[in-house]
Amino acid sequence: MYPAPFEYHRARSVDEAISLLSQYGSDAKLIAGGHSLLPMMKLRLATPAHLIDIRTIDGLQYIEDKGDYIAIGAGTSHAAIEKSDLLKQKMPLLPQAAAVIGDPQVRNMGTIGGSLAHADPAADYPAAVLAAGAQLVAVGEDGERVIPAEEFFVELFQTDLDEREILTEIRVPVISGNTRGAYLKFPHPASRFAIVGCAALVTLENNVCSDVRVAFTGVASTAFRDSGVEDALRGQPLNESTIQKAAEQAAESDELEIMEDNFASEDYRRHLAKVYAKRTLMQIASAF
């Protein structure tokens, strides 16, 4: 199917893109790699009258060590994140998530900012940035603001971004020497999106879990941290027995509305959340 007619604009700077967003408001959409937006446009689930291309804007493609955190430009491709030695050393969750996105063509064209701003409930990055404790930088007419990842994802395909703002940077804290992380998913066989994906970071102090961050994608209408798993493991040794007990708490919150579709029922997704919580945490345990 062909997209609905639209007017194409190529922004030469962030300021120009913001000006175009302000001019066209809810009739406009940003595009960088296009691998999130274009499929929806072809299905006419999204019908923007104006498409603002930000891919060629200078200064949005970088991965830089800032000391306490790694700064990633929102225009950075999945492939660049996957291959980054800096991220592999200091925040391996992001390269692990990037490595299982789509296929090589998607990873070379798609961008982390586009994926996060699109907020697909089955995308890989949302769980990873939640577990990492990332902060997201948005720029609009009123200047810059920093949004914690836990406040960024609002609802299905909805974020805290204003329609006149652009996501410009993702800041991920550097992990300590006694912290390990992992991301694993059960992918849809065609799209490679996550039926269920689990990201986790665990810090050990005196052989017990002093800090635990576990996040899921693909389970509910938006990615979320699972306090049930975290609370069950915090203060416990990291072994198969404690991991099994913690994993049984996955996706059990009464506040969750588990997604259901033709591929996976609500019960199946809840089951997979427990399976992938265990697998992810066991992989972390083996890394210590």
pLDDT, tens digit, 9 for 90 and up, residues 88-135:
999 999 999 999 999 999 999 999 999 999 999 999 999 999 999 999
Question: Is the same domain home to 236 and 261?
Answer: yes
Query: Please, what is the Cα angle at 81 between 77 and 86, to 5 degrees?
Result: 145
The SS3 call for residue 4 is: coil
Question: Is the same domain home to 198 and 243?
Answer: yes
- CA atoms within 13 Å, Cβ hemisphere of 2: 3
| Domain extent at residue 84 | 63-173
Tokens of 183: 């991301």
Of 25-29, 81-85, 90-94, 128-132, least confident by mean pLDDT is 25-29
Please identify, among 129, 146, 173, the residue that sits at the C-terminal boundary of a domain.
173
Instruction: State yes or no: pLDDT of 236 exceeds 90.
Output: yes
Classify residue 286 by burial, with Cβ atoms within 10 Å: 0-12, 13-18, 19+: exposed
- Render 145-180 in DSSP notation, one character per residue: EEEEHHHHEEETTEES--TT-EEEEEEEEPPPTTEE
User: Residue 67 falls within a domain, yes or no?
Assistant: yes
Query: Of 212, 218, 206, which is closest to residue 247 (Cα–Cα)?
Result: 212
User: Residue 218 falls within a domain, yes or no?
Assistant: yes
Total tally of structural domains belonging to the chain: 3
DSSP-derived letter for residue 258 is -
At 15 the pLDDT is 94
Question: Is the same domain home to 183 and 281?
Answer: yes
Query: Of 181, 186, 231, which is closest to residue 203 (Cα–Cα)?
Result: 181
At residue 255, φ and ψ (nearest 5 deg) are -80, -10
Confidence of residue 46 (pLDDT cuts 50, 70, 90): confident
pLDDT, tens digit, 9 for 90 and up, residues 146-176:
999 999 999 999 999 998 999 999 999 999 8
Of 35-49, 122-136, 144-158, 195-209, least confident by mean pLDDT is 35-49
Classify residue 43 by burial, with Cβ atoms within 10 Å: 0-12, 13-18, 19+: exposed
CATH number at residue 13: 3.30.43.10
Average pLDDT score over residue span 213-220: 98
Question: Is the same domain home to 90 and 186?
Answer: no
Look up the pTM and report it.
Answer: 0.94
Confidence of residue 228 (pLDDT cuts 50, 70, 90): very high
Contact 137, 167 (CB under 8 A): yes
